[in-house]
Amino acid sequence: MYSILIIDDEEWIRQGILSKVRKSGFPFTEIAEAANAEEGFSIIKTLQPDIVVCDIRMEEMDGLELIEKVHRMYPEIKTIIISGYSEFQYVTKALKLGVADYLLKPIDKYALYQAFTKCMEAIEQEKQAKIRIEKLELVGSSLEMKQKMDKFLQKEDLDPREIFSAYNDRSSFQSVSLFVDPGTNEEDIILNHFLDSQGSLQLNRNMVCYKNTPHEFTILICVPEPHMVNEYENYIVHYIERLQTDLHKNGVYRYTFGISGFHQRIDTCIFAASYCLKHRVLLEDNQVIRYTDTMSFQQTYKLASHVPAFLKHHLETQNIKGITDIISDIYQEISVAAISYKSVQNLYTHLLMVAAEDFNVNLETQYPRYPLEAYFYSSLRELLDSITELYLKIVNVSKGRSEYSTQRLIMRVKEYIDTHYAEEIKLEDIAELEHYNSSYLSLAFKETMNINFQDYLLNVRLGNAKKMLLSGQYKIKDIAVMSGFKNPHYFSAVFKKAEGFTPKDFVKEHGEGLL
């Protein structure tokens, strides 16, 4: 059951939303309304609703101020903003504040219901997360264990006996990294296995488990004696098989195990298991990955230098086909090559940076569902589909401002050419001056001006040369230099090709002047 508050200073809009809420069929037990932000905040303090729907533009305190205040004091409340088309510039700021969704007036009921669904799903996920965190504390004192393991990984002096009562100088270690895909509920099943472990492995004697990230477990096993390695290897294999069987019985298939070999050092085996696990994005059919499975993935891949600039241009111009074509080309290249995980991570980081740096996108607050690690995806296809989805969201938010931004850039370039045409001008130099890639600038110039950079520069030079020729004040050899041409002979050849006359004949045909 949920509670909801509608805040809008226009009564007919507020009543329209309330009507949609009552007819929606969603389990709202409390439905409240407010005519301004101050009244709304007063109700929020008393009711603490699950969902707040708020207009952006209101008298005195506006909707954005209210949302910022609500998220600071009641971070669990989900907010939806509503806005008119003329207020679209506020959307970016609202997204940065962490609103669940924004809707444009007039409010479409299906869009409103979709926003409610998104809020309710987030509320339920947070409730489940709290329950799982409470259960995780039972697993070998998870938080305390993670802190101890972090000391090992930072190479601090820590005796393994503080973790394993079975440890001695002849012991070795094996590690298993387990990744649970976001949005699934495998953790309850996993917890039961850890808590019910019997036989060879016992918590805090020769096995520990802790939560490494919100979706990743680390299992560490201590093998007391060298002759017991095979026994422990067989046990962990059967242990994972039993866990997989339970997962499958519960309809869960989205998980991956990374298994290390046996090592004398704890940090070495943990890093080895993590290294195997990260290859899940390359080995989409493998739910259990060992080092031997990763050995063929050694090729390097580097994104072509022009690709980020072209992606930026397509994003600014809302060229969805251009975006999807580039992403498709990338997939075709990497799907047939056995590229290393490091190359995958570098590629993913570069593609994220197009959004984060060029479009001032904060991935943590605006788009938190896009992780920074490539192995959070179960395949290369899924990774690139996610990037495409992110770019399309940017296209939707940036509509209306990109054309203006590109036009301003090209107008600056045009003004530079018009002023400095007599000097040696190179596209690369102007691109560096404007902090843009030269390939992108060339494409943007042609699309905006309907003429390429070199042809425009030539037209400007020839236009000024013709004015000087007809003025009768300069000699042809001086006009050549003053117009930006290397020498009089080159000037005459270019002029004749463009105008059909030599400079001298042009003057005879079009006016009197001194040569």
What is the identity of the amino acid at 232?
A: Y
Q: Which two tokens stand for residue 200?
A: 């060879």
Specify the pLDDT at position 295: 94
Specify the pLDDT at position 368: 66
Specify the pLDDT at position 198: 43
For residue range 209-239, what is the model confidence (pLDDT) as tens digits? 777 777 788 888 888 889 988 888 888 888 8
In this chain, the answer to whether the domains covering 2-133 and 403-510 adopt an identical fold is no
Domain boundaries, the chain: 2-133, 140-293, 307-398, 403-510
Residue 330 has pLDDT above 60, yes or no: yes
For residue range 54-102, what is the model confidence (pLDDT) as tens digits? 998 887 788 888 998 998 899 899 999 888 755 556 777 777 788 888 8
Say if strands 216-223 and 172-180 run parallel, antiparallel, or are unpaired: antiparallel
Cα distances from 392 to residues 270, 346, 359, in angstroms, run 38, 21, 13
Residue 296 has pLDDT above 50, yes or no: yes
The candidate with the shortest Cα–Cα distance to 125, out of 369, 367, 382, 365, is: 369
Specify the pLDDT at position 60: 76
What is the identity of the amino acid at 361?
A: V
Mean pLDDT of 175-203: 61
% helix, strand, coil for the chain, step of 5: 55, 10, 30
Give CA–CA dist 222/230, Å, rounded: 13
pLDDT band at 194 (very low <50, low <70, confident <90, very high): low
Specify the pLDDT at position 210: 76
Residue 341 has pLDDT above 90, yes or no: yes
Give CA–CA dist 22/4, Å, rounded: 11
Say if strands 255-259 and 172-180 run parallel, antiparallel, or are unpaired: antiparallel
Homologous superfamily of domain range 403-510: Homeodomain-like (1.10.10.60)
Q: How many residues does the chain have?
A: 515
CB 372 within 8 A of CB 352: yes
Give CA–CA dist 83/13, Å, rounded: 11
For residue range 419-449, what is the model confidence (pLDDT) as tens digits? 999 999 999 889 888 767 677 788 888 888 8
pLDDT band at 138 (very low <50, low <70, confident <90, very high): very low
Specify the pLDDT at position 16: 92
**Arithmetic mean of pLDDT over the chain:** 83
Q: Which two tokens stand for residue 164?
A: 């394993």
Specify the pLDDT at position 514: 43
For residue range 378-388, what is the model confidence (pLDDT) as tens digits? 899 999 998 98
Class of domain 140-293: alpha beta
Residue 160 has pLDDT above 60, yes or no: yes
Q: Which two tokens stand for residue 281?
A: 């994005």
What is the secondary structure of 171-214 as a DSSP string? -EEEEEEEEE-TT--HHHHHHHHHHT--TT--BTTTEEEEEEET
Share of the chain above pLDDT 70, in %: 83
- Top pLDDT among 440 and 106 is at 106
Burial 264-301 (b: 16+ CB within 10 A, else e): eebeebbbbbbbbbbbbbbbeebbbbbeebbeebeeeb
CB 163 within 8 A of CB 208: yes
Q: Give me the sheet containing 216-223, strands edge to edge.
A: 207-213, 216-223, 172-180, 255-259, 288-290
Q: Which residue has the tokens 């593609």?
A: 351
Specify the pLDDT at position 217: 83
Specify the pLDDT at position 515: 42
Return the CATH architecture of domain 2-133.
Answer: 3-Layer(aba) Sandwich (3.40)
Number of Cβ within a 10 Å radius of residue 347? 23
